[in-house]
């Protein structure tokens, strides 16, 4: 499943994702690990055509040029938007068993709210492969964030880390970025010492 996964950017618009498969995707998402078991995440699930249309209008740039890949993406019968809630982490680590005296974000060398919500997103991508589906994780441009929040009533403390399209696969083009080639293990792994 790890080896078969790749981002799929075109879907069969006539085949919705069965409800029990949607449930399994979400059930796996919440099994992601999280720092202090904070689970500071929230998922917006869009299936109705009008909800999906509202998403594409709000969260993506208007047509043309570089955005042609969105034509296939728009055929996806399911969109899941994973959100990270930083305040849930700051609260969690101010509890007695963690014992940080304040809720400062400075203490965090790594923003685990994004990492953990990313874990949940990856588990959905992998589960999609396991269910015979395709999926794609992509970013929401910063300049569309306000429009996205307004369209769906998403509060400030929940930040979308991107969005995931899911559906039965149709023929698509592989991302041109893949031409860069995968960096081999020998290039990215150091043993015993970095340098």
Helix (H) or strand (E) holding 81: strand 78-85
Residues paired with residue 83 on neighbouring β-strands, in sequence order: 42, 160
> Shortest distance, CB of residue 31 to its own copies, whole angstroms?
5
Distance CA 36, CA 151 (A): 32
Q: How far apart are the first and last CA of the chain?
A: 34
Q: How far is the CB of 39 from its own copies (least distance, A)?
A: 5
Of residues 10 and 127, the one with the C-beta less far from its own copies: 127
Q: How far is the CB of 68 from its own copies (least distance, A)?
A: 13
User: Of the two residues 63 and 176, which places its CB atom closer to its own copies in the complex?
Assistant: 176
Least spacing, CB of residue 175 vs its own copies, in Å: 7
**Distance in Å, CB of 168 to its own copies, minimum:** 20
- Please give the Cα distance from 148 to 160 (Å, whole number): 9
Q: 101 or 189, CB closer to its own copies? A: 189
Our CB check for its own copies shows the closer of 50 and 63 to be 50
- Provide DSSP, 61-80: --SSGGGGGHHHHTT-SEEE
> Judged by CB, which is closer to its own copies: 75, or 140?
140
Q: Which residue has the tokens 């083009």?
A: 173
CA 106 to chain centre: 25
Residue 106: φ, ψ to 5°: -65, -30
């Amino acid at each position: 499943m790890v080896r078969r996964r790749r981002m799929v950017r075109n879907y069969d618009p006539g085949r919705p994702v069965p409800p029990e498969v949607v449930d399994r995707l979400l059930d796996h998402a919440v099994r992601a690990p999280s720092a202090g078991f904070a689970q500071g995440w929230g998922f917006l699930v869009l299936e109705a055509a009008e909800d999906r249309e509202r998403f594409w209008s709000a969260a993506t740039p208007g047509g043309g040029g570089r955005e042609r890949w969105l034509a296939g993406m728009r055929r996806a019968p399911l969109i899941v938007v994973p959100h990270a809630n930083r305040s849930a982490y700051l609260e969690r680590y101010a509890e007695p068993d963690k014992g940080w005296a304040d809720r400062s974000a400075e203490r965090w060398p790594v923003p685990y709210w994004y990492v953990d919500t990313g874990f949940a997103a990856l588990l959905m991508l992998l589960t999609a492969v396991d269910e015979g589906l395709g999926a794609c994780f992509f970013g929401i441009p910063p300049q569309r964030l306000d429009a996205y929040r307004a369209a769906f009533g998403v509060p400030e403390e929940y930040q979308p880390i991107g969005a995931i399209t899911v559906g039965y696969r149709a023929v698509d083009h592989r991302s041109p970025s893949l031409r860069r080639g995968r960096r081999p293990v020998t290039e990215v792994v150091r043993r015993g010492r970095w340098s």
